[in-house]
Amino acid sequence: MTDPVQLRVPAERRDYTVASVARALRVVDVVAEAGTDGLTLTELARQAGVSKSAGFAIARTLVDAGYIREVHPGPRYRLGLTLVRLGDRAVETHPLTELVKPVLHDLTRRTQMTARAAINDDGYPMFISRVDAPGVIRFHAPMGVRELPHSSAAGKAILAHLPESEAIRIAEETGLPARTRRTITTVPGFLEDLRRTRERGFGIDDEEDEIGVYCLSAPVFGLHGGVFGALSVTTIKTGAPERRAAELGGILRRFAAQITAQIAGRPRGRD
């Protein structure tokens, strides 16, 4: 069961925190953690750490505003569509979105593959921009949503440049679930894959997240040299793209270096 979400507020700012707003945000968080199963009012109140009457009042207010919704029979509470709209707005206005779009267009023209850019969200890749490859094939890749790092080329590219303790933390948080029969599901195997990713300079997802789909990704670094995000390309497996892995990886690293140079003011060489 999900523990109540605790808002971390610096001591010097607690005097300016509105308790009722903090409780409402905590309710949104616990409903989000519940996923498609949703929560009953009793579960919502317990996990948010509020009384049942307070939970009902908060839930009713959030339902009216569209932040959560009631699902029957139950009722059970799930996230509402207002958050989808706000999520799209957040992605559209992220400062990196405008910066990477021209690079993604160039990358798609160069590789004839779908190009995406992700930010490092506490060790998880969160994609914020995409340019589809020419043709009729479209990959389902929602923006503004975390992806599992262990089965994602972008996740590997990011975690390969973070301390090993971060990779272990991610493994413990996610449980390394098998997305396909090719997914790496053990911590030693995951750490070894990250080592290879670091050595070659780019991550590979060879049907590990979805059968028939092949992805590569190179890291993007920030102002102080830490990993900021990743740039990736995605294609179908039928064209045997793995034979071009070294070539495509080199292309990706050059394009990722362009974004690093724009963010950090200088390209970062290979470690």
Q: What is the CATH number of domain 11-85?
A: 1.10.10.10
Instruction: Give residues with Cβ within 8 angstroms of 267, minimum separation 6.
Output: 257, 258, 260, 261
Q: Which CATH architecture has domain 94-264?
A: 2-Layer Sandwich (3.30)
- What digits encode the pLDDT tens for the residues 233-257? 999 988 788 999 999 999 999 999 9
Share of the chain above pLDDT 90, in %: 68
- What digits encode the pLDDT tens for the residues 139-152? 766 777 889 999 99
Write out residues in the chain with pLDDT < 50, as ranges. Answer: 1-9, 12, 270-271
pLDDT of residue 228: 92
pLDDT of residue 2: 36
Domain boundaries, the chain: 11-85, 94-264
Q: Could you tell me which of 71, 72, 47, 44 has the C-alpha nearest to residue 58?
A: 44
pLDDT of residue 265: 67
pLDDT of residue 92: 61
